[in-house]
């Protein structure tokens, strides 16, 4: 594996762990509880209420019941994630929580289809910044790296611009992000 792909993998990994960190503790506890409750229901409560033994073989039953548990746990984790993801995108948390709790998972699908880009503030002046901005609209502070020739987005690990072939190491700031200086 080349150094570049390795670096890109590390970036993806970092982004994923940042996303996972959005899941609050209560959601993790809730997910474990949801898993335990589904197991309790399917293994203990349900067989007692059944008059005939079910014809499903045990390995298949184990698989199905574990799947239901995992699904329930995932649902709680997702609600936790959305509770922290919605505010950073300027979306109404309360409205989306109600929407996502609706049965069938339709609300969750809608959420991921309709969610707004992450909103942030300029580290220099505090103005509102959107995900695709390169410079702050109020003070011109550079908020993401871009090509010094065509001013389109560049990844901090790129050496040449993918749009115009410009040598990014030759760009003076603000061509490259100040933070990335080697």
Is 138 near Zn ion (CB under 5 A)? yes
Residues in CB range of 88: below 8 A, 6 or more apart? 118, 119, 120
| Four-residue CA torsion sign, 6, 8, 12, 14 | positive
Would you say 9 or 167 has its CB closer to Zn ion? Answer: 167
Long-range contacts, stretch 159-167, CB < 8 angstroms, 24+ apart = none
Say if residues 83 and 24 touch (Cβ distance below 8 Å): yes
Is 127 near Zn ion (CB under 5 A)? yes
Among positions 84-123, residues that touch Zn ion (CB under 5 A) are 122
Site string for Zn ion, 157-176 (x = CB under 5 A): ----x-xx-x----------
Is 125 near Zn ion (CB under 5 A)? yes
- CB count within 10 Å of CB 71 equals 13
Which of these segments, 52-60, 87-95, 98-106, 150-158, binds Zn ion (CB under 5 A)? 150-158
Which of these segments, 52-60, 67-75, 99-107, 127-135, binds Zn ion (CB under 5 A)? 127-135
């Amino acid at each position: 594996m080349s150094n570049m792909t390795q670096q890109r993998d590390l970036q993806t990994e970092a982004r994923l762990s940042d996303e996972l960190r959005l899941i609050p503790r209560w959601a993790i506890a809730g997910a474990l509880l949801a898993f335990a409750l589904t197991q309790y229901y399917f293994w203990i409560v349900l067989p007692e209420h059944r008059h005939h033994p079910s014809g499903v073989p045990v390995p298949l039953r184990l698989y199905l019941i574990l799947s239901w548990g995992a699904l329930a746990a995932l649902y709680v984790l997702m609600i936790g994630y959305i509770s922290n993801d919605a505010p950073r995108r300027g979306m109404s948390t309360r409205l989306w929580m109600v929407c996502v709790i609706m049965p069938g998972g339709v609300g969750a699908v809608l959420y991921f289809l309709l969610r707004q880009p992450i909103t942030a503030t300029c580290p220099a002046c505090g103005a509102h910044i959107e995900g695709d901005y390169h410079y702050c609209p109020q003070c011109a502070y550079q908020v993401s790296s871009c090509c010094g020739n065509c001013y389109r987005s560049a990844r901090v690990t790129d050496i040449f611009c993918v749009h115009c072939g410009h040598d990014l190491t030759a760009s003076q700031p603000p061509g490259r992000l100040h933070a990335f200086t080697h």
